[in-house]
């Protein structure tokens, strides 16, 4: 069956139910989690998150008040602890200048917000799109590894890195913020279920489907 992005979202939602993503109680927790998860798995990120929660209650000002060595020790379970500690300080220091007013920040920067986020230390394209979608509530497609693996299985070719997919997947106008958040969560939950090992995809409810992207004929048929 040939699917559009909207079709794919609706099928994932129908088969799996709502994802509940991003699993966090506050936007500060989303920011911390998005930085900790870089280049590691959820188990390691969760260990670091638990330590930070115990030490700071995940309150940005308390995190910023930590001595550098203490912050690095708490982040260490997530790996790359020096870079991730610096990223946390960079992002929250910038947000504090705006009194953590996410709607004001979004209104001030407008379409340039993504570029501004990319200027922050430790914020790459994937993290910027997570921040846009879950923190600043602007629908964006998160073209992470699970998404690239899924789209490849659905016949999309040439997906070599984050940008190679992201540039081809502007979300359709009908996608709300809630749909964009859920779409990313559903793709990742699907990946956890069917990509370990990848051969499990053949057992999934998407096996045999093809994805159509607007800039090409049926996916994989340039």
Q: Are residues 64 and 14 in the same domain?
A: no
**Which pTM value belongs to this model?**
0.93
Q: For residues 105 and 123, what is the distance between their CA atoms, to the nearest angstrom?
A: 16
State the pLDDT at residue 218.
Answer: 40
Q: Are residues 36 and 131 in the same domain?
A: yes
| Both structure tokens of 143 | 């073209």
Domain-embedded: residue 162: yes
Give the count of domains, the chain: 2
Confidence class for position 213, pLDDT limits 50, 70, 90: confident
Residue range(s) defining the domain that contains residue 130? 27-135
- Which residues does 37 contact at the CB level (< 8 Å), separation at least 6? 45, 78
Q: Are residues 35 and 12 in the same domain?
A: no
Q: Kindly tell me if the per-residue pLDDT of 210 is higher than 50.
A: yes
Residues in the chain: 222
* Ramachandran category for residue 171: left, alpha or beta (phi over 0 → left; psi -120 to 50 → alpha): beta
Q: Are residues 155 and 59 in the same domain?
A: no
Q: Are residues 50 and 126 in the same domain?
A: yes
Domain-embedded: residue 216: no
Read off the pLDDT of each residue in 77-93 and give the average, rounded to a whole number.
98
Domain boundary among 94, 118, 135: 135
Read off the pLDDT of each residue in 145-167 and give the average, rounded to a whole number.
96
Domain boundary among 113, 135, 157: 135
State the pLDDT at residue 214.
Answer: 74
State the pLDDT at residue 222.
Answer: 39
Domain-embedded: residue 221: no
Q: Are residues 35 and 103 in the same domain?
A: yes
State the pLDDT at residue 70.
Answer: 98
Residue where the block lists tokens 């940005």: 60
How far, in Å, are 19, 56, 63, 150, 196 from residue 210 at the CA level?
22, 46, 45, 10, 21
Q: Are residues 11 and 104 in the same domain?
A: no
CB-count burial class (<10 Å; 0-12, 13-18, 19+) for 160:
exposed
Domain boundary among 110, 135, 160: 135
Q: For residues 58 and 81, what is the distance between their CA atoms, to the nearest angstrom?
A: 17
Domain containing residue 87: CATH number: 1.10.340.30
SS3 state of residue 98: coil
DSSP states along 106-118: HHHHGGGHHHHHH
Q: For residues 194 and 200, what is the distance between their CA atoms, to the nearest angstrom?
A: 5
Q: Are residues 8 and 98 in the same domain?
A: no
Q: Kindly tell me if the per-residue pLDDT of 216 is higher than 90.
A: no
Average pLDDT of the chain? 95
How far, in Å, are 4, 103, 153, 204 from residue 135 at the CA level?
26, 9, 30, 31
Q: For residues 142 and 148, what is the distance between their CA atoms, to the nearest angstrom?
A: 10
Q: Are residues 34 and 122 in the same domain?
A: yes
What digits encode the pLDDT tens for the residues 105-118?
A: 999 999 999 999 99
């Amino acid at each position: 069956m040939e699917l559009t992005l909207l079709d794919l979202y609706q099928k994932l939602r129908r088969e799996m139910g709502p994802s509940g993503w991003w699993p966090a109680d506050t936007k500060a927790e989303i920011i911390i989690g998005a930085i900790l998860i870089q280049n590691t798995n959820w188990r390691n990120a969760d260990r670091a998150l638990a330590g930070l929660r115990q030490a700071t209650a995940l309150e940005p000002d308390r995190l910023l008040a930590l001595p550098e060595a203490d912050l690095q020790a708490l982040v260490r379970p997530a790996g790359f602890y020096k870079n991730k500690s610096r990223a946390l300080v960079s992002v929250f220091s910038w947000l504090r200048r705006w009194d953590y007013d996410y709607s004001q920040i979004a209104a001030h920067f407008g379409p340039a917000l993504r570029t501004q986020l990319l200027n922050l230390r430790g914020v790459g394209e994937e993290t910027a799109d997570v921040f846009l979608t879950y923190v600043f509530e602007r629908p964006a497609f998160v073209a992470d590894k699970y998404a690239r693996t899924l789209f490849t299985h659905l016949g999309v070719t040439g997906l070599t890195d984050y940008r190679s997919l992201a540039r081809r997947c502007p979300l359709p106008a009908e996608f709300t913020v809630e749909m964009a958040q859920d779409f990313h969560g559903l793709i990742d939950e699907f990946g956890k279920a069917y990509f370990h090992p990848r051969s499990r995809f053949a057992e999934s409810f998407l096996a045999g489907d093809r994805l159509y992207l607007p800039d090409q004929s049926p996916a994989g048929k340039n």
